Structure 1
Amino acid sequence: MSVVDRRPIRPARRPATLGRVIEVRELTKRYGATKAVDGLSFAVGPGCVTGFLGPNGAGKSTTMRAVLGLDRPTSGEALVGGRRYAEIPRPMHHVGALLDASAAHGGRTAYDHLRVLARSNGIGDKRVVAVLEEVGLAGVARRRVGALSLGMRQRLGVAAALLGDPGVLLFDEPVNGLDPEGIRWIRRLMRSLAAEGRTVLVSSHLMGEMALTADRVVVVGRGKLILEASVRELSDRFRRDVLVRTPRPAELTAALRAAGATVREEAGALLVRDLDAPGIADLAAAARLPVHELTPRGASLEEAYLELTDDSVDHRAGGTDR
């Protein structure tokens, strides 16, 4: 039975206005002698998808749990709309989250699981039916949670996050267990939610997927903030090459190398490193060499992420350099 919903994502009503911003302020969380989060500060605003990135053990899940009041900070605070989660009345109307798709009673049906959550926050049964339709689970609503595939349980977790039509959403590794169609669906969903003016924070280890989904990133390592920037700013910061097309590649290559640049050929073009685009243009003009294209190329999100977090990785596979 297919559970793919190809209809455009639309909310049942306008999102609640409370709690449009996530703020983490000097957050520290200790477990015994271990610091899972260490003086972490960042903010997540509405209208964009923010990727929460870092190696295993970087403190991402602990931070999300602190935002949701599931872990008490050792010091500092995590706020939603200026309030602690515990201070928000009927919080599902303001904050939705998917942290663990397995956190549902296996003996309940998908419908009953959502109905129990809905009742706790004064949400009617019609909304339960609506979110099951929205995530493509209407056809298995009466199936027990324990009999659902991992991908279906992920969708059920998304449905629970959407129950209160909240203005703030947190997703921890939401594509786990989803097939390619499901991954495309969750990507469209998150971008649609952000386009409606909601605040969306999503953690993931799939850099290729984050490159297609996120507008901004918060990168952490060993519980500390490494970088907070837009995806474009991150790519520009780790710019690698300048792509150059010219009808006289041999002559331009010689001139560039004489100026100290590194040049390699790729698909009929030159990839130039160690000299920026204005410098290449000036050199070509001085040598009277025509240039048909001059395009700076940033690093991929994966390349930038790996370079940023290189010193924060605790476990490496054998055979690596470090």
Structure 2
Amino acid sequence: MIVVRELTKRYGPTLALDQLSFEVRPGVVTGFLGPNGAGKSTALRIILGLHRPTSGEALIGNRRYDRIRRPMREVGAVLDAGAAHPGRTAFHHLACLARSNGIGGARVSAVLERVGLAGVAQKRVGGFSLGMRQRLGIAGALLGDPAVVLLDEPVNGLDAAGIRWIRSTLRSLAAEGRTVLLSSHLMSEMALTVDHVLIIGRGRLLAETSVAALRDRFQRDVLVRSPRAAELAPVLTGLGATVTAGEDGGLVVVGVNAATIGDAAAAASIPVHGLTPRGATLEDVYLEMTGEATEYRTDTTRTARP
């Protein structure tokens, strides 16, 4: 797994990472979230040995990346989808990577097939769309059949089919027991893809938890539907809940969870036709948690003038 301990990085007077610590475990897709300038890219580069930390350490399988003899066999990464030389074909780009790590040519053909680029293997990368470059980058990450995969913004440039493909690919990699770390700004996509989240701001860890636990933490209310709502309301207020009338005769309940409401209704022999917990979306949670850590803000309360 990936272990980051007390990682600090300074660039002159700028503190990019401030004693950042977290773990990324195998078997789940972990999302790495944070506003621009939060330190995500710096942390990823330190994990991959591209930057040296001011203090602290980042380990992959109990070793620093630069101590791994043939890194592509253990770690696959994409930090920049445009890193491939535009004059090379997709096949030759991957073949060069494979040769540098002692990987056979058959594996090149296999990963091109897996990412859907087998039909353009002999075309030059310079003519590829951004989505095709993303697929090529992921092919390079998978070339050594690594146990650890790190991807920075892998869905940029992908169409709907491509986004669905990368989502299923990441989940299948995690299901195989691999460690998968995914950085992205697309909250809607993260909500569908990741199981665990790391949220950072100004170089510090703000949260490390499952997506489900994060949503539960920010649950707003429960919408209750019952043919005897008028009888149920005082039962729930007796439990300390705040109850207001909702749409179509439903009750909006704040202060108790759905299980408690269901148990209380059953004890009072009041039928319930619907219990709908309504929590914040992952995007809502992210914005609330990172509000003070955002470097650039706009005032969304003002109405634009023509």
Q: With the length of structure 2 as denominator, give the TM-score of the two structures.
A: 0.91
Looking at structure 2, the residues matched to 157 and 246 of structure 1 have their Cα atoms a distance apart, in angstroms, of: 53
Which stretch shifts more, 230-239 or 292-301? 292-301
SS where residue 97 of structure 1 aligns? strand
Runs of 5+ consecutive residues of structure 2 not aligned to the other structure: none
Name 1:26's counterpart in structure 2. 6
Name 1:189's counterpart in structure 2. 169
Name 2:292's counterpart in structure 1. 311
Name 1:245's counterpart in structure 2. 225
Shift of 1:256: 5.5
Cα 1:159–1:278 shift into 2, 3 Å: closer
Q: In the alignment, residue 201 of structure 2 is paired with which amino acid? A: G
Looking at structure 1, the residues matched to 112 and 79 of structure 2 have their Cα atoms a distance apart, in angstroms, of: 18
Question: Could you tell me whether the CA contact under 8 Å between 1:256 and 1:263 is conserved in 2?
Answer: no
Which stretch shifts more, 256-265 or 182-191? 256-265
Name 2:154's counterpart in structure 1. 174
Cα 1:190–1:255 shift into 2, 3 Å: same
Question: Could you tell me whether the CA contact under 8 Å between 2:241 and 2:253 is conserved in 1?
Answer: no
Name 1:14's counterpart in structure 2. none
SS where residue 149 of structure 2 aligns? strand
Name 2:39's counterpart in structure 1. 59
**Where do 1:219-298 residues align within 5 Å?**
219-253=199-233, 261-266=242-247, 269-277=250-258, 280=261, 289-298=270-279
1:38-84 deviation line (CA, Å, top 9, x unaligned) = 11000001001001111111111111111000111111111100000
Cα 1:93–1:206 shift into 2, 3 Å: same
Cα 1:253–1:34 shift into 2, 3 Å: same
SS where residue 142 of structure 1 aligns? coil
Q: With the length of structure 1 as denominator, give the TM-score of the two structures.
A: 0.87
Question: Could you tell me whether the CA contact under 8 Å between 1:244 and 1:295 is conserved in 2?
Answer: yes
Shift of 1:303: 1.9
Q: In the alignment, residue 160 of structure 1 is paired with which amino acid? A: G
Looking at structure 1, the residues matched to 301 and 293 of structure 2 have their Cα atoms a distance apart, in angstroms, of: 15
Looking at structure 1, the residues matched to 249 and 81 of structure 2 have their Cα atoms a distance apart, in angstroms, of: 48
Which stretch shifts more, 261-270 or 163-172? 261-270
Aligned length: 301
Name 2:141's counterpart in structure 1. 161
Name 1:97's counterpart in structure 2. 77
Runs of 5+ consecutive residues of structure 1 not aligned to the other structure: 1-20
Q: In the alignment, residue 181 of structure 1 is paired with which amino acid? A: A
Name 1:117's counterpart in structure 2. 97
What percentage of aligned pairs have identical amino acids?
66
Question: Could you tell me whether the CA contact under 8 Å between 1:257 and 1:263 is conserved in 2?
Answer: no
Residues 1:212 and 2:179 aligned together: no
SS where residue 219 of structure 2 aligns? coil
Looking at structure 2, the residues matched to 178 and 187 of structure 1 have their Cα atoms a distance apart, in angstroms, of: 11
SS where residue 222 of structure 2 aligns? strand
Residues 1:87 and 2:42 aligned together: no
Cα 1:267–1:82 shift into 2, 3 Å: farther
Looking at structure 2, the residues matched to 161 and 279 of structure 1 have their Cα atoms a distance apart, in angstroms, of: 47
